Structure 1
Amino acid sequence: MNTLSLEQAVERLQQGEIVAYPTEAVWGLGCDPQQQQAFEKILMLKQRPIEKGVILLSESIERIEPLLSLLDADIRQQIIASWQHTGTQQRATTWLLPISAAIPAWIYGTHDRVAIRVTQHALCRQLCAAFDGMIVSTSANPAGLAPAKTAQQVADYFPSDLAILPGELGTSPQPSKILDAVTGQVIRA
């Protein structure tokens, strides 16, 4: 198993590599969303079509403020509240937000919104802050298989040179729920 420190994980992200890391409920695969070749590596590993899009993870609401500014004040407050009040044992919320020019098209696939989650998971927050940007967050599993719940499962699913940032999963029983900020539709309950 190829484990690394937080600093090494950030270096890997900056170099266009993929890092596996624990999230609120399952292990995730991440990369710099601005580096298309890194994103394509994730799609290849997961055997996932680009059309599906992925979630972007942030540690701060301020970082995604440009996306929130496009929304009605009431829904904006609802989104912020859902991210601020997620405790370590609660299920996280991912919101589908209007797309800005700063988000590459390969991130949202064929959708007309981008999936964003502001995390309360300590290690994810540290990773985003040290990277100084949002990172891709997609479950660490090949298409059709259950998301990895341990670093060993990640290592079993993927090549031995995949970098793993060790840490503990959050205690959320399920991956994040997904809500559309524009329509109010529940995408994943």
Structure 2
Amino acid sequence: MFVNTPLEASEILNMGEVLAYPTEAVWGLGCNPMNKDAFYKILKLKQRPIEKGVILLASHISQVEPLFENISQEIQQRIIESWAAKSSSERATTWLLPANNFIPEWIKGNHLSVAVRVTQHPLCREICNQFNNFIVSTSANPAGETPAKNWQEAQAYFANNVHYLNGEIGKCTEPSQIIDAVTGKFIRN
């Protein structure tokens, strides 16, 4: 159940399927965030409670701008600067942004915010570009297990229950830091 290109990966997402793919630091599981059934497949695979919410991955700022409506220009600039091109070994930054009606309830869990990251990982960017929207991004592992670092580890967890887009993870050794845009508080540092 391998796909060979980001275009094929976007087609899988459009079909309501789950995709395993490399991110900045670990392998991730993704789906179309607007497809509730696909999202529930991820929760079942990960044995993850819906209350936690997930990260949405974007390829460029314009995909995120609808979520900036209640954020000051100063904070918007800080967010944009944190997402500017970085070296592949720099830690990525995910921001908690106030969720609006654009974000489905199942994505944000028990939160009033949604976790969003504009990725610099080339393969992730291309998946989002081909899909022309956010994609769900949560680590490729069942709850309590170590996140997969390659397709073999992801496949050991999920077998033929997901599709795989092979590639290399980034050189970052830690998952993204998470910052609340409203309070400035580090949720994961």
Q: TM-score range by the shorter chain?
A: over 0.9
Runs of 4+ aligned structure 1 residues displaced above 4 Å come to none
Aligned residues: 188
Partner of 2:18: 18
Of stretches 78-87 and 163-172 in structure 1, the one that deviates more from structure 2 is 78-87
How far is 1:87 from its partner?
2.3
Q: How does 1:72-87 map to 2 (within 5 A)?
A: 72-87=72-87
Matched, 1:49 2:38: no
Q: Deviations over 1:77-117 (max 9, x none)?
A: 00000001432110000000011111001000001100000
Partner of 1:63: 63
Partner of 1:156: 156
- Stretches of structure 1 lacking an aligned partner (at least 5 in a row): none
Of stretches 143-152 and 80-89 in structure 1, the one that deviates more from structure 2 is 80-89
3-state SS in 1 of match to 2:97: strand
Of stretches 66-75 and 175-184 in structure 1, the one that deviates more from structure 2 is 66-75
Percentage of matched positions with identical amino acids: 54
| Aligned AA (2:46) | K
TM-score, normalised on structure 1?
0.97
3-state SS in 2 of match to 1:84: coil
3-state SS in 2 of match to 1:33: coil
Of stretches 67-76 and 146-155 in structure 1, the one that deviates more from structure 2 is 67-76
CA distance in 1, matches of 2:54, 2:87: 23
- Stretches of structure 2 lacking an aligned partner (at least 5 in a row): none
Partner of 2:128: 128
How far is 1:161 from its partner?
4.1
TM-score, normalised on structure 2?
0.97
Matched, 1:4 2:3: yes
CA distance in 1, matches of 2:187, 2:2: 34
CA distance in 1, matches of 2:15, 2:85: 34
CA distance in 2, matches of 1:113, 1:163: 29
CA distance in 2, matches of 1:49, 1:86: 32
How far is 1:54 from its partner?
0.0
CA distance in 1, matches of 2:70, 2:115: 15
